[in-house]
Amino acid sequence: MNKINVNDFRKADYPIDDIFLNRWSPRAFSEKEVEEEVLMGIFEAARWAPSASNKQPWRFIVASTKEERNRFNQFIMDGNLIWCKTAPVYALIISDSEAGGAHAFDAGTAWGFLSLQAAKSGLITHAMGGIYKDKAREVLNIPEQYSIHALIAIGYQDDVSILQEAHQEREKPSNRRPVSETLMKGSFK
The C-alpha atoms of residue 78 and residue 141 are separated, in whole angstroms, by: 22
The C-alpha atoms of residue 98 and residue 93 are separated, in whole angstroms, by: 16
- What region does 53 belong to: left with phi over 0, alpha with psi -120 to 50, or beta? left
pLDDT-based confidence at 20, cuts 50/70/90? very high
The pLDDT mean for the chain works out to 96
Q: Is it the case that residue 2 has pLDDT exceeding 80?
A: no
Query: Is 27-169 a CATH 3.40.109.10 domain?
Result: yes
pLDDT-based confidence at 1, cuts 50/70/90? low
Tell me the whole-structure pTM to 2 decimals: 0.95
- At 70-108, the pLDDT tens digits run 999 999 999 999 999 999 999 999 999 999 999 999 999
The C-alpha atoms of residue 86 and residue 112 are separated, in whole angstroms, by: 22
The C-alpha atoms of residue 84 and residue 73 are separated, in whole angstroms, by: 9
Residue 78: closest CA among 155, 164, 138? 164
Helix axes 103-120, 36-47, angle to 10 degrees: 140
Q: Is it the case that residue 3 has pLDDT exceeding 90?
A: no
Burial of 15 (0-12, 13-18, 19+ CB in 10 A): exposed
8-12, 62-66, 84-88: the lowest-pLDDT one: 8-12
The C-alpha atoms of residue 111 and residue 168 are separated, in whole angstroms, by: 25
Q: Is it the case that residue 62 has pLDDT exceeding 80?
A: yes
Section 29-54 average pLDDT: 98
Radius of gyration of the CA atoms of the chain, in A:
17
Q: Where do the domains of the chain lie?
A: 27-169
Section 130-149 average pLDDT: 98
